[in-house]
Amino acid sequence: MKLNRSNVSQTSGIMLMECIIYVGMFFLFLGLAFSLFYVCWDNSKGLKRNADDIVRTLKAGERWREDVRTATGPLHLQAGDEEEILHIPQKLGEVLYSYSKDNVRRRPNTNAAWTSVLEHVKSSRMQEDRRQTVQAWRWEVELKAWRKSPRTPPLFSFEAVPNQHP
């Protein structure tokens, strides 16, 4: 019996050049996928870092506002060459806020040790903000940016009004 070659299904194999092209395309797509993954990973870490900075700053600002609101006397700002200290009189002593270099520190009374309230600070300025009938205080703080050119600079502003004493 003779087999007719036209009836036999012909299968063709992959040529070596096609195999090399497919492997190259696979590694190209794999490289692009890893590149995209690491860009997303870095952005995710940056977002977490920014969120942590915002939370830290808001907690420090709310604590500062509470200290100013519960002041028992007039606040006093002592400005020096390298350090700025805000004196806030309280019932149990005097709360001090200090800014030097890249750190804002708080001292709950004159016998206590300084504790760091906010780190990685680019600039901090506490100032009196007189209004028509109210004497308010403002704290403007700028954190150091983690990126070279951030889309939104990390600037915060807090205002508080101490208890008015006759």
For 52-102, the pLDDT digits (tens) are: 999 999 999 999 999 999 999 889 998 887 888 999 999 888 999 999 888
Task: Using DSSP bridges, classify how beta strands 135-143 and 115-119 pair: parallel, antiparallel or unpaired.
Answer: unpaired
Task: Identify the DSSP state of 148.
Answer: S
Mean pLDDT, residues 11-16 taken together? 72
Range list of H helices, 70-114: none
Domains contained in the chain, number:
1
Report if residue 74 sits inside a domain: yes
129 vs 1: which has the higher pLDDT: 129
Domain range for 35: 25-160
Q: Taking the mean position of all CA atoms in its chain, how far away is CA 4? A: 78
Tens-digit pLDDT profile for residues 28-62: 999 999 999 999 999 999 899 989 999 999 999 99
pLDDT recorded at residue 163 = 82
pLDDT in the model for residue 32: 98
List all residues 6 or more positions away from 120 whose beta carbon is below 8 Å from its beta carbon.
Answer: 53, 102, 143, 144
4 within domain boundaries? no
Instruction: Tell me the average pLDDT across 136-142.
Output: 93
**Residue 31 counted as domain residue:** yes
Q: What is the mean pLDDT of residues 122-149?
A: 88
pLDDT, greater one: 60 or 14: 60
pLDDT of residue 2: 60
**In-domain check, residue 3:** no
Yes or no: say if 102 and 121 are a contact pair by the CB < 8 Å rule. Answer: yes
The proportion of the chain whose per-residue pLDDT surpasses 90, expressed as a percent, equals 57
| Residue 114 lies inside a defined structural domain of this protein | yes
Q: Would 81 be classed as within a structural domain? A: yes
Percent pLDDT > 70 in the chain is 90
Binned at pLDDT 50, 70 and 90, residue 152 comes out as confident
The pLDDT of residue 4: 58
In a domain, 36, yes or no: yes
Task: List C-alpha distances in Å: 95 to 36, 74, 135, 140, 156.
Answer: 49, 12, 19, 19, 21
pLDDT for res 61 = 95
The number of angstroms, rounded, from the C-alpha of 70 to the middle of its chain's C-alpha atoms is 28
Question: Other CB atoms closer than 10 Å to residue 124's CB: what's the count?
Answer: 20
Residue 7 lies in a domain: no
Closest CA to 121 of 76, 63, 61: 61
Q: What is the mean pLDDT of residues 154-160?
A: 92
